[in-house]
Amino acid sequence: MSSRIFVANRGEIAVRIIEACDRLGFDTVLGVSSADRTTLAARRAGRIVTVGGPRATDSYLDADAIVHAALSTGCTAVHPGYGFLSERPAFARLCADNGLTFIGPQPEALEALGDKLSARALAESVDVPVSAGGTADTLEEVTRLAESIGYPLLIKAAHGGGGRGMKRVGHAAELADAWRVASAEAAASFGDGTVFLERYVEDAKHVEVQILGDRHGHRVHLGERECSVQYRYQKVVEESPCAALPEASRALLHAAALKIADALDYVGLGTVEFLYDVDRDRLAFLEVNPRLQVEHPVTEAVTGIDLVREQILVALGEPLSFTQSDITVAGHAVECRITAQDPTRGLAPSPGHVERWRPPVGGGIRLDSHIYEGYRFPPFYDALMGKLITWGQSRSAAITRMRQALDGFEIGGVTTSLPLLSRITAHPDYLANSVTTRWLEHTLEEGQPR
């Protein structure tokens, strides 16, 4: 098999994809913005092509420029990573129309999952539990629907994520304004102002199942992750497996994810996300992310499977090299997202010159990053600097190793989330595995986690 793969992304995930291609013996071409010509990914790629200006809209989100660059450099496939164009059906179709393999699900699956209302309907059609919810067109209808669901509730964008177009509503008096603001945010961010209501669970854990399918009808799950440590719906710390799940609920979770994958005839990597109501021992479907996830390394750490390698191979038509019975989960893994953000200012972005970058080393420690000493962290993109992953025989062992690794990580010149991550992983609530999705917001509002 001979392929040249165009990497249509940046940062740590571009480095990760290039490394996987290198191990497979595939040539790589990296599309970069004019601000990213000196990144670590640019140094690692076989060739780089500048696709546009520093802003993502002028480069990483320019589908025509990406496809033109891929074709002009003799590439046969495009890896979109996560974010940017990774979940856009029109981009997947544009690749196909030009003879390029899109390393991701088929456009039909992207369309079905890009609309959260359609995804909810799909889940219900295969008897996967969902939270009470729905949509309406007028404020009067919205008010009646909210009363039937009950407060508190969430207003969510039907076409998007990352917390944009999402509002928590605690009382009826807040509903009208929240509905209008959420719809306006959704329209501005995603080009579609459709929003819907969903019951809000106060004490829920965010759990998700990694799925993988090939073009030959084989589909598997690779266990679950817990991503409950979040700030404004952005994940901060993840782990695998979810130690809080009873075994019966874990089995139900995995089965539900595979039902959805089967209904979609899913090909590629995907993540089926759920809320787990701890008090009621109840699961509710949230959405499917039809792409590689930021937090995929914790699954790799406990299964020993290179997910990016498998994602590339199934996109190129290869069958899965293992079955469900071959997959085992061993030990526990934790991931901390290190960002150029200031924890004392509500995690405000803090780009700048990285004067010191000395990561920890040792057994059971992994770092996925694009940063090097002297790198100038740009203001145009997200704040992720790297992902620190630790593995241990048990959850407590993995956390202990993480705390030691964070303490030994030296970063200078840029304000980062390192101090916050150290406090989180030492906090009694986190150690007791009792945190839920609003825990970090509450602790930041009350003062820094102690």
H or E element in which residue 49 lies = strand 47-52
Q: How far apart are CA 219 and CA 87, in angstroms?
A: 20
Q: How far apart are CA 223 and CA 77, in angstroms?
A: 28
Catalytic residue among 44, 250, 291, 395: 291
Beta bridge partners of 412: 356
Per DSSP bridges, beta strands 332-339 and 384-392 are antiparallel
CB atoms closer than 10 angstroms to residue 374: 12
- 3 state SS of 245: coil
Q: How far apart are CA 419 and CA 406, in angstroms?
A: 8
**Closest listed residue to residue 322, CA positions, set 195, 187, 428, 221:** 221
H or E element in which residue 131 lies = none
Only one residue has tokens 């000196």, namely: 38
Cβ-in-10-Å burial (0-12, 13-18, 19+) of 446 comes to exposed
Tokens of 237: 């710390």
Greatest alpha-carbon pair distance for the chain in Å reads: 61
Cβ contacts of 339-342, under 8 Å, gap ≥ 24:
339/382, 339/383, 339/384, 339/385, 339/416, 339/417, 340/377, 340/383, 340/385, 340/414, 340/415, 340/416, 341/383, 341/415, 341/416, 341/417, 342/415
Residue 261: C-alpha distances to residues 109, 112, 212, 214 (Å): 10, 12, 8, 11
Annotated active-site residue 291? The verdict is yes
Crossing angle of helices 107-114 and 116-125, in 10° steps, is 100
CA dihedral over 169, 226, 243, 131, signed as positive or negative: positive
The alpha-carbon radius of gyration of the chain (Å, integer) is 21
Helix and strand counts by DSSP (H, E) for the chain: 15, 23
Residues with a known catalytic role: 291
